[in-house]
Amino acid sequence: MWGGQPNRVLTTALCLRDLGHDVVVAGPRGCMLVQKARLAGLEVFDDLELKSGFRPVSFLRDVWALRVHFSKKSYDILDTHGSQDTWRSMLAVLTLSKRPVFVRSRHNIFPVRGHVFNRWLYRHVDHVITISPQIIPCLEHLVSPDRCTSVYSAPDASRFNIPQEPQAVRKELGLPDQAKIVGVVGRLAPEKGHTYLIAAAPRILERVPDAHFVFVGTGRSKGDLERQVSDLGLRDKFTFVGFREDVPRVLQAFDLFVLCPIEGEGLGTSILEAFLAGKPVVATDLGGIIESVKHKITGLLVPPGDAASLATACVEMLENPAMAQQMAARGKELIQRQFTPEDIARLTAEVYLQGLARRSPG
């Protein structure tokens, strides 16, 4: 599955390569990240399973595979991005004669438990990179703020240099020609809050009868969300289009972009893409979303899990298109100025080089 985290890994790797660094991308066999990295000409290592849950045989096999790989490559920097790869990589490097600088990149605001194992893990992490400042307080019980640096994620602006054909996109997706399209791009999972937009839909439709709702993405909540739509008698007002590789093109069909997570959101990378596509945004006031959605300046913010407030904000945007477009334009300018792949590479490289400098004898 593709999302903000693998996109951040690939973007960082490509930009670091452009700066002249040797980069290897690692991941489980067959994952989309490894496939995309290989197609982009990056070196990859995919002799891994990275299975979740209690799987001691698979876990130890991954640790050994990483230990052998690290011994051969002798990396200067190791940057992990999830729980599975962090634990396996940490155990794999402990016995190396030359241990790389260990960086842990963190992408969400889910609480990290302060048990003895996590305390041990973070004592051995040299530095933490977070994708927004709001993540750092979630780690204060494990790592001091001076060992944390925030580096925003960023969309690839070049992907948006495509022909504008919104009506063709609507036709392809089977959407009504004249409808006001309210769209969401993201994993269909409980924490993403799609259920609250469905709950808000009847209120939105009372004021904007030609509204139509589009969910882009896949995930474990799909069945539950479809049942909720059916129970409300709104099957003709919702379209589930599944996973799409061409999100910049799909966004052309939207009149309004919504992201309404209720937990875990570190930054809201899909919002950055919506702004680059010139779309007005309504989002929940959660985590790092406030780094790009400035209330009543670049978009509208509502409390997480509040369907009534979400409906009110969506109606305000749909009924005031001139205001909405002004906010969208300010949002696009903000992303182009502060959320760039070049900044990811530059700031990440600075963290890496500082880590190496601290390791140097003199």
pLDDT at 360: 66
Residue 95 has pLDDT above 80, yes or no: yes
Cα–Cα distance for residue pair 138/110, rounded to 1 Å: 8
The average pLDDT across 288-314 equals 98
The average pLDDT across 134-157 equals 95
The average pLDDT across 192-213 equals 98
Cα–Cα distance for residue pair 277/115, rounded to 1 Å: 43
Which tens digit of pLDDT belongs to each residue from 214-269?
999 999 999 999 999 999 999 999 999 999 999 999 999 999 999 999 999 999 99
**How far apart, in Å, are the Cα atoms of 72 and each of 67, 68, 249?**
9, 6, 42
The average pLDDT across 306-316 equals 98
pLDDT at 354: 94
Which tens digit of pLDDT belongs to each residue from 110-144?
999 999 999 999 999 999 999 999 999 999 999 99
**CB-CB contact of 3 with 9 (8 Å):** no
pLDDT at 292: 98
Is the CA virtual torsion 228, 230, 236, 241 positive or negative?
A: positive
Residue 54 has pLDDT above 90, yes or no: no
Three-class SS state of 140: coil
Comparing C-alpha atoms, which of 238, 242, 230 is closest to residue 197? 238
**How far apart, in Å, are the Cα atoms of 62 and each of 46, 47, 66, 141?**
10, 8, 6, 29
pLDDT at 361: 60
The average pLDDT across 194-208 equals 98
The average pLDDT across 14-28 equals 95
pLDDT at 1: 66
Q: Which two tokens stand for residue 255?
A: 């009149």
Q: How many residues does the chain have?
A: 362
Domains of the chain (ranges; CATH) run 4-154+341-359 (3.40.50.2000), 157-338 (3.40.50.2000)
Residue with tokens 């109606």: 315
The average pLDDT across 289-306 equals 98
The predicted model scores a pTM of: 0.92
The residue among 2 and 59 whose pLDDT is bigger is 59
**How far apart, in Å, are the Cα atoms of 19 and each of 22, 59, 78, 101, 274?**
9, 34, 17, 19, 28
Averaged pLDDT of the chain: 95
